[in-house]
Structure formats: structure tokens, C-alpha cells
Amino acid sequence: MNAAEQVGSKRNAGYRAADMVEDGMIVGLGTGSTVFFAMERLGERIAGEGLSIAGIPTSYQAALRARQYGIPITSLDEHPEIDIAIDGADQVDPDLNLIKGRGAALLREKCVCDATRRMLIVVDQTKMVDTLSAPVPVEVLPFASASVSRRLTLLDGRPVLREGIKKDGPVITDNGNFILDCDFGAIADPRHLEAEVASIPGALECGLFTAYGEKIVVIVGEEKGCRIVSLR
Ligand SMILES: O=C(CO)[C@H](O)[C@H](O)COP(=O)(O)O
């Protein structure tokens, strides 16, 4: 798939997800280039049809984009239960386990995923894999980055501190933390690995999402249209 085809696929996935949003819904807004298309379409529907929704952004990036598209913003404080969320992913396996976090927004994204009744994951087909194997982003408390790194190594991971672009030194997340991108190779048991990482003090969250397959609907954008994948 060339770059233009990939953008078209992302647009198809994002637009389909936005068209599944109903009037009056509270909508979790993920982070990344595919969700942008969903937000663009939500903006069109708000302006064109008078769709009435409120979005909960998972990052500064999502909040800025929501404002750009005229999507009213609310918060998880006001709505601890969410109707529907739209988010991207870096990899999706057949059991709908995910790796997320290329955009370093995984901590808030997982909070929103946990709080939502229905989770729409928008991807292009390159993200669909048989076995998760991308590096797993781990958000870490800066104080504990060396000790968390050591513990990840003991889990046979190879953690690398994510460096900023147009900024010297590490990426600082929207929550003021660091990201360790941890390569575990092919992940045979993602649920077990997620639990192992979660047990490390100072590892605040990791980009493995393995507990939500039942509520996830994956919208796989293709050059012409979309394919829907769910466990139900
Ligand atoms: O998890 C994420 C951000 O933390 C993104 O949703 C994920 O990286 C996919 O991004 P894109 O749609 O740009 O490929």
C-alpha cells in the first residue's frame, strides 16, 4: 500500500466510525492520524446535521483538533461512563488485543477505553497482524525510569527511552512522564505480559490493551470502504 492509499484507508475508517456516533452521545476521542479523520467527519455532522455530542479528548492533540472541528468538549470527571470511543491502534491481533501508544497518549486512552461502553478502533489494514510484535510503549514515572527499565529487561524486553523530536531529551507525556518503548519480539501471551508490566512500581500504564476485546469493534479502512471486525 502506498502512502496515498494508506491515507485514503485511514479516512474511510475514520469516517465510518464517525457515522456510527448517535445524537446525544458522549464520545471518547483518541489520538493519532486516523482518529483525526473521525473528528473531521464529526465536525461535518455537527455543522451539517446539528449532531449534538460532547467529546472527551485523550491528549492535548485531540483537544486541539476537537476545537478545530467544533466538537464540544467535556471531561471524564463529568462523564465517568462514556457511550462510545474512537481511537487508533498500532497493531491488532485476531483476539482484538491491541498495541497502542505511538502518540504517547496510552495512559489516558486506556482510561477512556475502560470507561466506554463501546470502543471503535480505526486502523488501516497494515495494522492487522497474527501476533503482536511492535515495541510496547510503557509510560513511566521519571523517578523510576531506571528501575522500571531494569524490570522490563528481566521480562526479556529491550526498553529504549523515547526521545523528543524538535526537543532535546526524552518525550514528556501529557501527564508529565517518560515513555519507554520496549521490544519484546513476538508476544506469545499479551494478557500475561500486560499483567506483568502492570505489576512494576513506577510503570504507570503500558500500550498493551488485552481486556477489552468484547467491547471493541475494529474498523479496518480499505481503499474502497471498510471491513468490520468484532468478536461478537
Ligand atoms: O495509540 C495511539 C496514540 O497514543 C494512536 O492511536 C496509534 O498510535 C495509531 O496512530 P495512527 O492512527 O496515527 O496510526
Work out the pLDDT band at 232, boundaries 50, 70, 90.
confident
Give the closest residue (by CA) to ligand 1 atom 2. Answer: 101
State the pLDDT at residue 191: 98
76 exposure class (CB count in 10 Å sphere: 0-12, 13-18, 19+): middle
At 30, is the pLDDT very low, low, confident or very high (cuts 50, 70, 90)?
A: very high
For the chain, the maximum distance between any two Cα atoms, rounded to a whole number of angstroms, is 54
List the one residue out of 13, 22, 14 whose CA is nearest residue 46.
22
Question: Using one digit for the tens of pLDDT, what is the confidence trace for 127-160?
Answer: 999 999 999 999 999 999 999 999 999 999 999 9
Question: Residue range 202-225: average pLDDT?
Answer: 97
SS3 17: helix
Provide CATH code, domain 3-128+211-224: 3.40.50.1360
Q: Which of 9, 102, 107 to mutate to test the pocket of ligand 1 (most atoms within 8 A of CB)?
A: 102
CA of 147 to the centre of ligand 1 (A): 27
For the structural domain made of 136-207, what CATH number should be given? Answer: 3.30.70.260
What is the per-residue pLDDT across 154-183, written as a single tens digit (0 to 9) for each? Answer: 999 999 999 999 999 999 999 999 999 999
Q: How far apart are CA 48 and CA 12, in angstroms?
A: 19
Cell of 100: 497502542
Instruction: State yes or no: pLDDT of 70 exceeds 90.
Output: yes
Q: What pLDDT score does 48 carry? A: 97
Q: How far is the CA of 100 from the centre of ligand 1 (A)?
A: 6
The predicted complex's ipTM stands at 0.98
Q: Is residue 111's pLDDT more than 90?
A: yes
In tens, the pLDDT along 182-197 reads 999 999 999 999 999 9
CA–centroid distance, residue 30 to ligand 1 (Å)? 8
Residues marked as catalytic? 109
Give residue ranges with CB within 6 A of ligand 1: 30-34, 87-90, 100-106, 109
* CA neighbours closer than 13 Å in the CB half-sphere of residue 99: 26
pLDDT for residue 123 is more than 90: yes
* Percentage of the chain lying above the pLDDT 90 cut: 99
Residue type, 17: A
Domain ranges for the chain: 3-128+211-224, 136-207
Contact present, 88 and 122 (Cβ < 8 Å): yes
- Give all strands (DSSP E) within 25-157, no chain letters: 26-29, 54-57, 82-87, 91-92, 98-99, 116-124, 136-140
Q: How many CA atoms lie within 13 A of 205 on its CB side?
A: 20
